[in-house]
């Protein structure tokens, strides 16, 4: 069963409401000491721990730092292990170690959000693809159509996976701020339990921390973890300081003892490179007659935080003359730990700006007309960037783009990845002479930054 998570302040999705129980986090125990030891002397890679102490006993390298990491029991042996994802290609390793992938398969689309769980209770974890509020559940690691498709919650919700009632089936819980809507079946309808836990800015993990067969929540604040063994009101059952605030954290049963513990992946800090564009980078986003040739563009490949508190490597295509400034902006945002949900060229969405926005994808170059007009947009020149467009929508009158971003037209909200006047994002761009569309009188383009103010 899935014991992994990757959650945080921006994914929150769900359906309905029952009564909510307030959960106050407090230290039920003295926090344990500092960072996990590294017996190999290795500075980067995976550090997995079989116990709730500070010594990592599985230390290895696997995949690339640009890879997305998924955790699951892929072979039904009772232990969780690493799979890495590159686009829609998945590389499965069935042991907590490095080495070659034991199984490679292709599934879904490169831009999909992928979840892991044991959806049918057979002891083997498989995938579910999420597109907005629609979930495509697959019960084997093979091609072909989904075994079940269900709509649950809202496209802007955060989703957490776990076996909440001990029936061996993993299902969804959706999160909005500090409120969790727990569902014990993969079906539409009302939540079976609603609980308030922690703070809206916490990173959420799910796992079976005490081996009783039920998954529950742990919240992370920096390098401190507040573990709760029931989905109910009350104090945390364990408070642990582990690793560093900048570590990417995962949850799994690494030794098959029935209890989930922590693992981290440590990156080498902010990394950036500026490279020529490739055909894959621009794809359908460029065509003859566009105002800038491919030779006038560059791809900025850079580290960024996602909204689950993990470090990712993203790519953004911009005008060659602006690539250095964009690299500096991304470093500022990295240092500020500002979350960028996803950052890939819009070509990965077939140059469909609507699809890219709906996926909350940060992008820049796209040879297209201005919204509602026929002249080339600033994106056509590679001198405009749209940041987290789902939670920073384009608003004019009653029109909100993307439509799923309508709840975020209310700028008094404080969801992860939202941009507000004077914040670290606005300051980082302004320091390089870029203007923010959120300062316009009409329309309000909260996602948009450009060098020209257009």
pLDDT at 371: 76
Flag the least confident range among 9-13, 127-131, 292-296.
9-13
pLDDT at 62: 86
Residue with tokens 């997995």: 48
How many C-beta neighbours within 10 Å does residue 408 have?
A: 23
Q: What is the pLDDT of residues 177-236, one digit of tens each?
A: 889 999 999 999 999 999 998 988 899 999 999 999 999 999 999 899 999 999 987 789
Q: Break the chain into its structural domains and give their ranges.
A: 20-266, 272-450
Is the N-terminal amide bond of 402 cis, ω within 30° of 0? Answer: yes
CATH of domain 20-266: 2.115.10
pLDDT at 43: 57
Residue with tokens 């209770």: 121
- Over residues 378-382, the mean pLDDT reads 97
Q: What is the pLDDT of residues 306-320, one digit of tens each?
A: 887 778 889 999 999
CA-based torsion, 432, 327, 282, 288: positive or negative: positive
Instruction: Look up residue 22 and give its two tokens.
Output: 């307030």
The answer on pLDDT for 77 being more than 80 is yes
Q: What percent of the chain has pLDDT over 70?
A: 90
pLDDT at 434: 98
CA of 151: how far to CAs of 113, 162, 220, 274, 323, in Å?
15, 18, 28, 40, 40
Q: What is the pLDDT of residues 82-130, one digit of tens each?
A: 999 988 899 998 886 667 888 898 888 877 889 999 999 999 999 999 9
Strand-pair partners of 158: 175
Contacts 24+ apart (CB under 8 A), 374-377: 376/290, 376/291
| Cβ–Cβ < 8 Å for 419, 411 | no
3-state secondary structure of 63: coil
The rounded mean pLDDT for the chain is: 86
pLDDT at 38: 36
DSSP structure class, residue 55: B
Cα distance between residue 102 and residue 92, in whole Å: 6
Q: What percent of the chain has pLDDT over 90?
A: 65
The answer on pLDDT for 247 being more than 90 is no
Instruction: Determine whether 142 is exposed, middle or buried from the number of CB atoms within 10 Å of its CB (0-12, 13-18, 19+).
Output: exposed
The answer on pLDDT for 37 being more than 70 is no
Beta strands in 242-344 (DSSP E): 248-252, 261-266, 272-276, 297-305, 311-319
């Amino acid at each position: 069963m899935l014991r992994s998570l990757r959650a945080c302040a921006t994914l929150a999705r769900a359906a309905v409401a029952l009564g909510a129980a307030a959960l106050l986090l407090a230290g039920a125990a003295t926090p344990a000491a500092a960072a996990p030891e590294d017996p190999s002397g290795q500075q980067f890679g995976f550090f997995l721990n079989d116990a709730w102490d500070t010594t990592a006993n599985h230390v290895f390298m696997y995949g690339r730092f640009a890879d997305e990491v998924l955790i699951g029991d892929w072979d039904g042996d009772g232990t969780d292990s690493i799979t890495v994802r590159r686009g829609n290609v998945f590389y499965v390793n069935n042991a907590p170690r490095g080495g070659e992938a034991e199984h490679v398969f292709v599934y879904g689309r490169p831009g999909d959000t992928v979840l892991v769980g044991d959806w049918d209770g057979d002891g083997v974890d498989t995938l579910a693809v999420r597109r907005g509020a629609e979930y495509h559940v697959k019960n084997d690691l093979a091609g072909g159509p989904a075994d079940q498709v269900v709509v649950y919650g809202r496209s802007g919700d955060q989703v957490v996976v776990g076996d909440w009632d001990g029936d061996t089936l993993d299902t969804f819980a959706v999160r909005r701020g500090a409120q969790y809507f727990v569902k014990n079946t993969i079906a539409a309808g009302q939540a079976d339990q609603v609980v308030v836990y922690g703070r809206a800015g916490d990173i959420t993990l799910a796992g079976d921390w005490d081996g009783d067969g039920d998954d529950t929540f742990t919240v992370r604040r920096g390098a401190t973890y507040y573990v709760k063994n029931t989905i109910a009101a009350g104090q945390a059952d364990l408070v642990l300081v582990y690793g560093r605030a900048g570590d990417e954290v995962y949850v799994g049963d690494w030794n098959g003892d029935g209890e989930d513990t922590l693992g981290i992946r440590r990156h080498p800090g902010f990394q950036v490179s500026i490279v020529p564009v490739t055909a894959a980078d621009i794809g359908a986003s460029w065509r003859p007659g566009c105002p800038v040739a491919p030779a006038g563009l560059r791809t900025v490949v850079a580290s960024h935080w996602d909204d689950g508190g993990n470090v990712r490597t993203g790519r953004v295509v911009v005008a060659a003359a602006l690539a250095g400034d964009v690299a500096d902006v991304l470093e500022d945002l990295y240092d500020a730990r500002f979350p960028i949900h996803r950052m890939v060229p819009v070509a990965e969405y077939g140059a469909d700006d609507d699809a890219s926005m709906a996926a909350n994808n940060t992008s820049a170059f796209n040879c297209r007309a201005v919204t509602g007009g026929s002249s080339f947009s600033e994106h056509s020149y590679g001198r405009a960037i749209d940041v987290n467009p789902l939670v920073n929508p384009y608003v004019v009158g009653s029109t909100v783009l993307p439509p799923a971003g309508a709840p975020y037209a209310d700028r008094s909200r404080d969801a992860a990845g939202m941009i507000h006047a004077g914040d670290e994002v606005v300051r980082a761009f302004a320091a390089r002479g870029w203007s923010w569309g959120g300062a316009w009188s009409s329309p309000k383009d909260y996602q948009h930054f450009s060098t020209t103010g257009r």
